[in-house]
Amino acid sequence: MCRSRATACRSEKILDDARGSASDTGSPGPQVSRSTALLRSPGRCGSAAPWAPILEGELGERAARAVDEIARALADFPCEDLSLGGGRAGEVIFRHYRGESAEARLRLDELLALAQALPPRPPSLYGEGLGIAWVAAHLGLGDMEDLPEAGLFALPSDFDLINGVVGAGVHALERLPLPEARECLERCVDALEESADGAAWRTTPRDGSWQRAKAPGDYFDLGVAHGLAGVVAFLGEAVAADVRRSAAARLLVRSVEWLLVRRLPVAGPCFPAIVGVGVAPEPSRLAWCYGDLGIAAALLQASRRMGETRREREAVEIALRAAAASPVEGKVCDASLCHGAAGIAHVLNRMFHASGDERLLRAAREWFDRTLRFRRADAGIAGFSAWGPDGRHDEPGLLIGVSGIGLALLAAATDVEPAWDRVLLLSGM
Ligand SMILES: [Zn+2]
């Protein structure tokens, strides 16, 4: 079964300590409909409200139909990719949360067997080795001896969530209280502290990437997926798990201050995707992976972990300003979890459950409606196709595929808490 982690509001003492030293160095089964007894005072610091569905009536029925059609379409979709980000490991989580626990177990056993035969590869959370290991840990299925041993608690050279140290830390969080997992988490915090350039982390652009087109040299990535917001959210989880607590809190406070002064002086969405010498200052697209919304979610949960009520309210206001953009203004081109409408809707749903702010509830419903309007008859998988620089294509996986879209819709239409979004660093609110 899914392990639940404490979501207690950490005391002001942590914050005081961090500031004071800153100058020194069973399986879930869906049940539809019940709603908004959740509403609470905005900005309150405390544990999140019980999870409840937010989609009712015709919108809820459309969401439930789409989930069913995704399940049917995935069963027939050929996929050789085993990974968590783009392949079959994402579908295992989707089926588990849909209440198909026997089917999920069968598919996970198959993936574990196939993963044993894979050559060693870098420990990337969204890849085939560590990604499948995270799924096994999250579902409580699969023993350590079933897992590809190499790299389970190794640290990558990158620092980010998708490929780096933060991703390795997210996997280790899922395996607490194993002593090896705690020791890995300590190494993650140490590695982040050692590799920081001040309070942020440099990235060298890869040839051919969109970052290379914008940045002539190294840059600072501000997003959740590949950058600083992901580190901020992870450090909040390290504080909550009492791993290198004072070092993690100190680094967290500095990183949040560094991040907030990168806001652009504009009325709407204000965080750039990347900053650096020679990089034109412009707000990012609207998404979980990059931009104001993902940053707002990271700020809300880190602030909650640190007991900073004022900053929680600031995070909610950042999210609301971002969510007011239309899909065209936000450059939202598909329904995906990573940078599409379902991801936006799910982040807003998470933040609503964390804060009780009814404006977030309304925005989440609007973005779920937009998610479903991305469906096209006789196209994609169950009507959903992913946008990419080379055009639209069919994607089964978690990050930009229909498994992720299905999980977000399930979370909105049922009272099953989406603890799977720990892999997106969204559950610490
Ligand atoms: Zn993305």
Bigger pLDDT: 389 or 73? 73
Gap from CA of 57 to ligand 1 centroid (Å): 30
**Which pLDDT tens digit goes with each residue over 203-255?**
998 888 888 889 989 999 999 999 999 999 999 999 999 999 999 999 999 99
In angstroms, how far is the first alpha carbon of the chain from the final one? 21
Gap from CA of 223 to ligand 1 centroid (Å): 10
The C-alpha angle 343, 258, 21, rounded to 5 degrees, equals 120
Residues near ion ligand 1 (Cβ under 5 Å): 289, 338-339
Residue 11 has pLDDT above 80, yes or no: no
For 169-182, what is the mean pLDDT?
95
Taking the CA atoms of 147, 153, 155 and 159 in sequence, report the sign of the dihedral they define: positive
Share of the chain above pLDDT 90, in %: 76
Gap from CA of 421 to ligand 1 centroid (Å): 15
Annotate 357-423 with three-state secondary structure.
CHHHHHHHHHHHHHHHHCCCCCCCECCECEEECCEEECCCCCCCCHHHHHHHHHHHHECCCCHHHHH
**Which pLDDT tens digit goes with each residue over 112-149?**
889 888 887 788 999 998 999 999 999 987 666 666 65
- For residue 423, give the nearest of 46, 139, 25, 209 by alpha carbon: 139
State which amino acid sits at residue 104.
Answer: A
pLDDT, position 22: 38
Residue 6 has pLDDT above 50, yes or no: no
The C-alpha angle 235, 190, 149, rounded to 5 degrees, equals 95
Gap from CA of 314 to ligand 1 centroid (Å): 24
Q: What is the mean pLDDT of the chain?
A: 88
Gap from CA of 209 to ligand 1 centroid (Å): 13
Gap from CA of 338 to ligand 1 centroid (Å): 4
Write phi, then psi, for 326 (nearest 5 degrees): -80, 165
Gap from CA of 9 to ligand 1 centroid (Å): 29
Gap from CA of 142 to ligand 1 centroid (Å): 29
Residues 6+ away with beta carbon under 8 Å from 127: 83, 84, 85, 121, 163
Taking the CA atoms of 242, 248, 249 and 252 in sequence, report the sign of the dihedral they define: negative
- For residue 224, give the nearest of 279, 159, 270 by alpha carbon: 159
Gap from CA of 146 to ligand 1 centroid (Å): 31
* Structure token pair of residue 142: 């699969």
Gap from CA of 423 to ligand 1 centroid (Å): 14
Gap from CA of 117 to ligand 1 centroid (Å): 30
| Separation between Cα atoms, residue 88 and residue 78, nearest integer Å | 10
Gap from CA of 49 to ligand 1 centroid (Å): 28
For 278-295, what is the mean pLDDT?
95
Task: Quickly state the pLDDT bin for 196 (edges 50, 70, 90).
Answer: very high
Contact between residue 222 and residue 264 where contact means Cβ atoms under 8 Å apart? no
Gap from CA of 339 to ligand 1 centroid (Å): 4
Bigger pLDDT: 176 or 428? 176
Residue 359 has pLDDT above 70, yes or no: yes
Bigger pLDDT: 206 or 414? 414
Residue 33 has pLDDT above 50, yes or no: no
pLDDT, position 146: 62
Gap from CA of 33 to ligand 1 centroid (Å): 30
DSSP string across 287-302: SSSSSHHHHHHHHHHH
Q: Which residue has the tokens 């990347």?
A: 274
Residue 152 has pLDDT above 60, yes or no: yes
pLDDT, position 299: 97
| Separation between Cα atoms, residue 411 and residue 422, nearest integer Å | 13
Gap from CA of 16 to ligand 1 centroid (Å): 35
For 382-410, what is the mean pLDDT?
95
pLDDT, position 26: 42
Residue 61 has pLDDT above 70, yes or no: yes
Gap from CA of 288 to ligand 1 centroid (Å): 7
Residue 21 has pLDDT above 60, yes or no: no
